[in-house]
Amino acid sequence: MERTFLMIKPDGVQRGLIGEIISRFERKGLKLVAGKFEVLSEERVMAHYAEHVNKPFFLGLKRYITSGPCFLFVFEGKDIVRITREMIGATNPAESSPGTIRGDYALEIGMNVIHGSDSPETASREIAIHFTPDEISSYVRIDEPYLYE
């Protein structure tokens, strides 16, 4: 099974979307294995967005992502990165299809509700930034025999 890192950003938290978003993934059959609610430290923001630090939009991104609490979580499942990215929708909500999280709940790229890892390698790196191994649970969902062949 593969794992991915997801984060409901401050705009999603402030709008009360945590439960709705988590339930979409759970209803799909994906397994929640870690979660926590917190305001990100500057150190973690710098590590998480390292590839963007020198880009012109970074200071605005940093100000936004630290403006309030985020809900950080890890889901597990087969091909989970691809599946969650499809469920999230395009980075620019204006290009996201209805039925995706961003297509249903976001209007602008600067406040697009949720982050999701874009590859298994990125997921591993982001999970390690935000969670210790002890914070991630392993268990078998009772419905797994009905989800996977």
Catalytic residue among 48, 52, 115, 130: 115
Q: Are 76 and 2 in contact (CB under 8 A)?
A: yes
Cα 80 off chain centre by? 12
48 is catalytic: no
Domain annotation covers residue 13: yes
pTM: 0.95
State the Cα–Cα distance between residues 106 and 53, nearest whole angstrom: 24
In a domain? residue 143: no
| 104 within some domain | yes
The number of domains in the chain is 1
Q: 52: domain range?
A: 2-137
pLDDT interval class at 144 (50, 70, 90): very high
Reduce the DSSP state of residue 77 to 3 states and report it. strand
Reported as a pLDDT band with limits 50, 70 and 90, residue 105 is very high
Average the pLDDT over 4-18 and give the result: 98
pLDDT tens digits, one per residue of 13-65: 999 999 999 999 999 999 999 999 999 999 999 999 999 999 999 999 999 99
Question: Which token pair is 19?
Answer: 């439960």
**CATH number where 62 lies:** 3.30.70.141
For residue 31, being part of any structural domain is answered with yes
Range 109-131 average pLDDT? 97
Whole-angstrom CA distances from 128 to 14, 19, 86, 131 are 26, 24, 23, 5
Closest CA to 6 of 98, 142, 148, 113: 113
Residue 147 included in any domain: no
Joined together, the tokens standing for residue 134 give 């002890």
The pLDDT assigned to 54 comes to 93
Q: Name the token pair of 120.
A: 């298994």
pLDDT band at 130 (very low <50, low <70, confident <90, very high): very high
β partners of residue 20: none
72 CB burial (10 A radius; 0-12, 13-18, 19+): buried
